[in-house]
């Protein structure tokens, strides 16, 4: 008999925690997981899945308009926020159930409550129950960061945006990252007046400059307003329920809702980490090595709580690598090079590898290839919106080191192209591939 109640106790049943639990259990480990919110974590419950469903819903605004150019007699349509919201939340419920079934089918014990560390190999549940485990995995993810300023309590975050009682006519969104730009596109297509307020002068830091400039241009053309170098001073709630947003270097803005999208921080507060000696970095993230092990040998961490790359597929890979390494006898290390990413803005962005600036700094001699074009569908629809594809090539080796795209279905196209970048293929390999015509993706093999 083991001296521990479980071989593995996981705190957090998000994407990384669920994958680690399932794989560890399949290797024969006795596994338990504690989740204080809902099984599925940020991505399934209040992140990428419900957001993508809203993105799909928002696209119908342009599709219905464009359909008339393609011969469809479309009557004037009215958008019903309540219907979309409720259908999205129902889908979230369904997915949560499937995640629960997965854990149950692998005989993983689920405690639907908060758990905190009280020792290197012991946790305490909210009801006071203490449980021991040979190893503990922290997979508590991230949490929206809300700056402190007067009236910040009147704002919402991406956690609450999916539950709005009604669609706001005017929305102020704080931030310039992917969450801010994605929800700006969503609300704008639904008919809301959208203003993005950024304390700096750049949107989408980390993405290629040409691509983010193109999104800014298109977003402004669509009617989204941008305020740069305008930090929040306060939010005032008015007698009629509206909000007045006071900004530096900018006139006050009246809105029906304010969405704070200024980034996410590792969810490590109140877990008892400091008490057991788990080291954190300056951002509050858990320090781990390539093997996902923390400064305490029996405690590991995966996903956004480690603040390496805050993407769901990365958390899943880390959870799998941890379980295979520790319980499956298959030492595995996650490769963080050339991880593809997307921004589901309107239009969307896909990217993998180095930006032009990064490549120049690292490689020195590079070649860049671009294709700036209107998608065939946009031409017939009379829509002037242009796509932009960009390829970065190491001049010394001809290897493609970066691909950056903005345009219809860019993430779908980029996923396949990312395989080529990951494999280290060359510009000549792209050139030797016959184009699939007519398609937008063929531009990748026709770049000159």
Predicted local distance difference test score (pLDDT) of residue 319: 98
69 among annotated binding-site residues: no
For residue 335, is it within any domain?
no
- Terminal CA-CA length for the chain: 67
For residue 435, is it within any domain?
yes
Predicted local distance difference test score (pLDDT) of residue 92: 96
* Arithmetic mean of pLDDT, 2-28: 96
Q: Sign of the C-alpha dihedral, residues 209, 215, 218, 221?
A: negative
> H or E stretch including 60?
helix 48-67
Catalytic residue among 59, 246, 404, 437: 437
Task: Determine if residue 141 is left, alpha or beta; phi over 0 gives left, psi from -120 to 50 gives alpha, anything else beta.
Answer: left
For residue 339, is it within any domain?
no
- Say yes or no: 440 and 358 in one domain: yes
For residue 424, is it within any domain?
yes
3-state secondary structure of 331: coil
d(CA 45, CA 98): 12
For residue 378, is it within any domain?
yes
| Higher per-residue pLDDT: 348 or 41 | 348
For residue 84, is it within any domain?
yes
**pTM score:** 0.95
Cis peptide before 347 (omega within 30 of 0): yes
- Say yes or no: 156 and 42 in one domain: no
pLDDT for residue 307 is more than 90: no
Q: Which domain-ending residue is among 216, 238, 262?
A: 262
| Contact in structure between 352 and 51 (CB atoms under 8 Å) | no
309 among annotated binding-site residues: no
Query: Tell me, what CATH number does 309's domain have?
Result: 3.50.50.60
- Say yes or no: 106 and 175 in one domain: no
Query: Tell me, what CATH number does 379's domain have?
Result: 3.30.390.30
Name the band, by pLDDT with cuts 50, 70 and 90, for residue 394. very high
pLDDT for residue 76 is more than 90: no
d(CA 121, CA 10): 11
* Arithmetic mean of pLDDT, 364-389: 96
177 among annotated binding-site residues: yes
For residue 297, is it within any domain?
yes
361 among annotated binding-site residues: no
- Say yes or no: 425 and 371 in one domain: yes
Q: Which domain-ending residue is among 230, 246, 262?
A: 262
Q: Residue 206 — φ and ψ, nearest 5°? A: 100, -20
Residue 15: domain span: 6-143+265-327
Cα–Cα distances (Å) from 306 to 140, 281, 283, 337, in that order, read 9, 9, 10, 17
Q: What is the pLDDT of residues 171-208, one digit of tens each?
A: 999 999 999 999 999 999 999 999 999 999 999 999 99
% of the chain exceeding 90 in pLDDT: 98
| Contact in structure between 61 and 190 (CB atoms under 8 Å) | yes
- Say yes or no: 158 and 198 in one domain: yes
176 among annotated binding-site residues: yes
For residue 30, is it within any domain?
yes
**Considering the chain, what is the average pLDDT of its residues?**
96
- Say yes or no: 16 and 117 in one domain: yes
In total, how many domains does the chain have?
3
pLDDT for residue 295 is more than 90: yes
Predicted local distance difference test score (pLDDT) of residue 368: 98
Q: What is the pLDDT of residues 405-433, one digit of tens each?
A: 999 999 999 999 999 999 999 999 999 99
Residues ≥6 apart with Cβ < 8 Å to 339: 309, 311, 313, 314, 352
Predicted local distance difference test score (pLDDT) of residue 2: 77
d(CA 62, CA 41): 31
- Say yes or no: 64 and 79 in one domain: yes
- Say yes or no: 22 and 136 in one domain: yes
- Say yes or no: 121 and 31 in one domain: yes
3-state secondary structure of 342: strand
* Arithmetic mean of pLDDT, 98-102: 94
E strands of 207-365, at which residues? Answer: 225-227, 232-237, 243-247, 250-255, 257-260, 264-266, 299-301, 341-343, 349-353
Name the band, by pLDDT with cuts 50, 70 and 90, for residue 226. very high
- Say yes or no: 138 and 158 in one domain: no
263 among annotated binding-site residues: yes
179 among annotated binding-site residues: yes
182 among annotated binding-site residues: yes
246 is catalytic: no
3-state secondary structure of 173: strand
57 among annotated binding-site residues: no
Cα–Cα distances (Å) from 300 to 112, 293, 331, in that order, read 21, 4, 15
3-state secondary structure of 414: helix
- Say yes or no: 311 and 399 in one domain: no
* Arithmetic mean of pLDDT, 220-232: 97
pLDDT for residue 3 is more than 80: yes
Which residue's entry shows tokens 């090079």? 337
- Say yes or no: 58 and 115 in one domain: yes
Q: Which domain-ending residue is among 235, 262, 289?
A: 262
pLDDT for residue 306 is more than 70: yes
* Arithmetic mean of pLDDT, 374-391: 96
3-state secondary structure of 143: strand
* Arithmetic mean of pLDDT, 254-271: 96
């Amino acid at each position: 008999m083991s001296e521990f109640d479980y071989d593995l106790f996981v705190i957090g049943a998000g994407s990384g925690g669920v994958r680690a639990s399932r794989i560890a259990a399949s290797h024969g480990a006795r596994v338990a997981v504690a989740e204080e919110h809902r099984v599925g974590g940020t991505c399934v419950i209040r992140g990428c899945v419900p957001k993508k469903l809203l993105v799909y819903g928002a696209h119908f605004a342009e599709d219905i308009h464009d359909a008339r150019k393609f011969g469809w007699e479309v009557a004037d349509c009215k958008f019903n926020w309540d219907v979309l919201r409720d259908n999205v939340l129902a889908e979230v419920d369904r997915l949560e159930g499937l995640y629960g079934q997965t854990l149950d089918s692998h005989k993983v014990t689920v405690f639907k409550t908060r758990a905190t560390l009280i020792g290197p190999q012991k946790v305490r549940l909210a009801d006071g129950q203490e449980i021991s485990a040979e190893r503990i995995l922290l997979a508590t993810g991230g949490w929206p960061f809300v700056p402190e300023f007067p009236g910040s309590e009147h704002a919402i975050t991406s956690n609450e945006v999916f539950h709005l009682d009604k669609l706001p006519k005017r929305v102020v969104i704080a931030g310039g990252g992917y969450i801010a730009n994605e929800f700006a596109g969503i609300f704008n297509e639904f008919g809301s007046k959208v203003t993005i307020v950024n304390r700096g002068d750049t949107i989408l830091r980390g993405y290629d400059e040409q691509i983010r400039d193109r999104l800014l241009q298109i977003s402004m053309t669509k009617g989204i307003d941008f305020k740069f170098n305008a930090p929040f001073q306060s939010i005032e709630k008015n007698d009629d329920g509206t909000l007045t947003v006071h900004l530096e270097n900018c006139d006050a803005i009246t809105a029906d809702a304010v969405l704070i999208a200024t980034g996410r921080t590792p969810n490590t507060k109140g877990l008892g980490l400091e008490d057991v000696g788990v080291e954190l970095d300056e951002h509050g993230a858990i320090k781990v090595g390539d093997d996902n092990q923390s400064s305490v040998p029996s405690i590991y961490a995966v996903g956004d709580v480690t603040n390496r790359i805050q993407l769901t597929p990365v958390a899943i890979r880390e959870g799998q690598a941890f379980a295979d390494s520790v319980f499956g006898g298959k030492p595995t290390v996650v490769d963080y090079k050339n991880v593809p990413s997307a921004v589901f803005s309107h239009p969307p962005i896909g990217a993998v590898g180095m930006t032009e600036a990064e490549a120049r700094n690292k490689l020195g001699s590079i070649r860049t290839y671009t294709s700036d074009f209107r998608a065939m569908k946009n031409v017939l629809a009379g829509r002037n919106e242009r796509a932009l594809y960009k390829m970065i090539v190491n001049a010394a080796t001809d290897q493609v080191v970066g691909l950056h795209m903005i345009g219809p279905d860019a993430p779908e196209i980029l996923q396949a192209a990312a395989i080529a970048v990951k494999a280290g293929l060359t510009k000549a390999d792209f050139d030797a591939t016959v184009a699939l015509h007519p398609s937008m993706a063929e531009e990748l093999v026709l770049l000159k």
